[in-house]
């Protein structure tokens, strides 16, 4: 169980539901000023968000991911939702030639991105690389099994998935009331517009140079937006900057990647996936997105 802790505030032509989840500030903006309606939306949004977090966060003991990561090579029962997420992760693994790998989360144990950190040694990195390879996972619609010492981490798609599920949940409710909405989970966005009189949502993106400065401003009426970058998480050691996006085939951070990439797509999962995939391409990030005919903003 969880508490429905949230703040509901009212502005000139919209209301804002604010709460914390998935280690991020979360907001839902609605062009509706009726308290009863907004409280209904808030309860639905938080219930679904917490359901996903409690199920797929690798930081929660006893949940499904924890059971999968501590299965010691034994089979674990899964449901259709988890099967679909695994299938999507497999597609990303194949499209990226192994650069997007949900089994690479173990590298977070040795790479620490905070002041005075040091890169791990080659020997330590090599020892973990033996436990990274999505192809070693076996699963079907009902069961999941992976070798001992391997782990999975849905963090690369989890928050975006939550945004899409919340949008799917509240869209018919808001459409009935002609109440346009904007979902913002830590910078992962999804919006929809149901009234021709409603203006676009104006959203400020973070500066690529400083996480506390304002960057580009975008207008959004419908669709999703996600940003990947190295603005917040990096370490500097002996004059070299190491970004937090790690190459699962080498165990080291991707080199030559842009400071940030913002992608526009029909769903937040797609936007987040393509922004991450582009960052993993390093210097070829923009070429990759251009080839995929993806709309984006790239800052070097």
Taking only the tens place, the pLDDT of each residue in 129-151 is 999 999 999 999 999 999 999 99
Tell me the average pLDDT across 277-294.
94
pLDDT of residue 213: 53
Tell me the average pLDDT across 29-36.
97
pLDDT tens column, 43-98? 999 999 999 999 999 999 999 999 999 999 999 999 999 999 999 999 999 999 99
CB 295 within 8 A of CB 183: no
81: which 2 tokens? 């939702």
What is the overall mean pLDDT for the chain? 93
> In this structure, is the dihedral angle defined by the CA atoms of residues 263, 266, 269 and 273, taken in order, positive or negative?
negative
pLDDT of residue 99: 94
Q: What is residue 102's DSSP assignment?
A: T
Q: How far apart are CA 89 and CA 247, in angstroms?
A: 16
pLDDT of residue 232: 72
Q: How far apart are CA 138 and CA 90, in angstroms?
A: 11
Residues of the chain with CATH 3.10.520.10: 1-58+154-197, 200-300
pLDDT tens column, 254-274? 988 998 999 999 999 999 999
Q: Which CATH superfamily is domain 64-152 in?
A: ApbE-like superfamily (1.10.3980.10)
Tell me the average pLDDT across 4-20.
95
Nearest Cα residue to 165 out of 215, 224, 123, 208: 224
293-299-300 Cα angle (round to 5): 115
Residues of the chain with CATH 1.10.3980.10: 64-152
Q: Does 214 or 44 have the greater pLDDT score?
A: 44
> With 60 as the cut, is the pLDDT of residue 226 above it?
yes
Which residues are CB-neighbours of 239 under 8 A, at least 6 positions away? none
What are the CA-CA distances from residue 277 to residues 27, 138, 292 (Å)?
A: 26, 24, 11
CB 145 within 8 A of CB 73: yes
Which residues are CB-neighbours of 293 under 8 A, at least 6 positions away? none
Which of 152-156, 178-182, 205-209, 224-228 has the lowest average pLDDT?
205-209
Q: How far apart are CA 256 and CA 285, in angstroms?
A: 9
Q: 1-58+154-197 domain in CATH 3.40.50.300?
A: no
pLDDT of residue 279: 94
> With 90 as the cut, is the pLDDT of residue 239 above it?
no
Strand-strand pairing, 7-10 and 15-21? antiparallel
Which H or E element spans position 24?
A: strand 24-30
8: which 2 tokens? 């509901």
CB 135 within 8 A of CB 104: no
> With 70 as the cut, is the pLDDT of residue 212 above it?
no
Q: How far apart are CA 19 and CA 80, in angstroms?
A: 28
Q: Measured in whole angstroms, how far is the alpha carbon of residue 35 from the centre of its chain?
A: 30
Where residue 215 falls among pLDDT bands split at 50, 70, 90?
Answer: low
Which residues are CB-neighbours of 81 under 8 A, at least 6 positions away? none
Which residues are CB-neighbours of 22 under 8 A, at least 6 positions away? 49, 53, 57, 158, 159, 162, 185, 186
pLDDT of residue 216: 80
- pTM higher than the cut 0.85: yes
Where residue 214 falls among pLDDT bands split at 50, 70, 90?
Answer: low
Tally the residues of the chain. 300
In this structure, which topology does domain 200-300 adopt according to CATH? T-fold (3.10.520)
């Amino acid at each position: 169980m969880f508490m429905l802790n949230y703040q509901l505030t009212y502005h000139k032509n919209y209301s804002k539901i604010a709460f914390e989840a998935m280690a991020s500030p979360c907001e839902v903006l609605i062009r509706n000023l009726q308290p009863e309606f907004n409280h209904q939306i808030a309860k639905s949004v938080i219930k679904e968000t917490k359901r996903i977090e409690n199920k797929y966060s690798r930081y929660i003991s006893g949940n499904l991911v924890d059971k999968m990561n501590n299965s010691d090579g034994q089979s674990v029962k899964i449901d259709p939702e988890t099967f679909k997420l695994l299938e999507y992760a497999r597609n990303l693994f194949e499209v990226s030639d192994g650069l997007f790998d949900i089994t690479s989360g173990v590298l977070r144990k040795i790479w620490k991105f905070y002041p005075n950190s040091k890169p791990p040694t080659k020997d330590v990195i090599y020892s973990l690389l033996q436990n990274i390879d999505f192809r070693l996972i076996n699963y079907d619609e009902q069961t999941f099994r992976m070798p001992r010492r391997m782990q999975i981490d849905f963090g690369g798609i989890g928050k975006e998935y939550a945004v899409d599920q919340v949008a799917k949940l509240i869209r018919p409710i808001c459409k009935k009331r002609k109440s346009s909405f904007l979902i913002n989970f830590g910078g992962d966005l999804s919006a929809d517009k149901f009234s021709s009189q409603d203006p676009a949502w104006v959203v400020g993106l973070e500066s690529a140079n400083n996480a506390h400065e304002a960057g580009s401003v975008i207008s959004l009426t419908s669709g999703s937006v996600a940003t990947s970058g190295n603005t917040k998480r990096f370490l500097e050691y002996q004059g070299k900057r190491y970004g937090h996006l790690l190459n699962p085939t080498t165990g080291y951070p991707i080199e030559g990647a842009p400071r940030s990439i913002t992608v526009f797509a029909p769903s937040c999962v797609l936007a987040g996936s393509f922004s991450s995939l582009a960052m993993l391409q390093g210097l070829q990030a923009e070429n990759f997105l251009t080839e995929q005919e993806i709309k984006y903003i790239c800052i070097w």
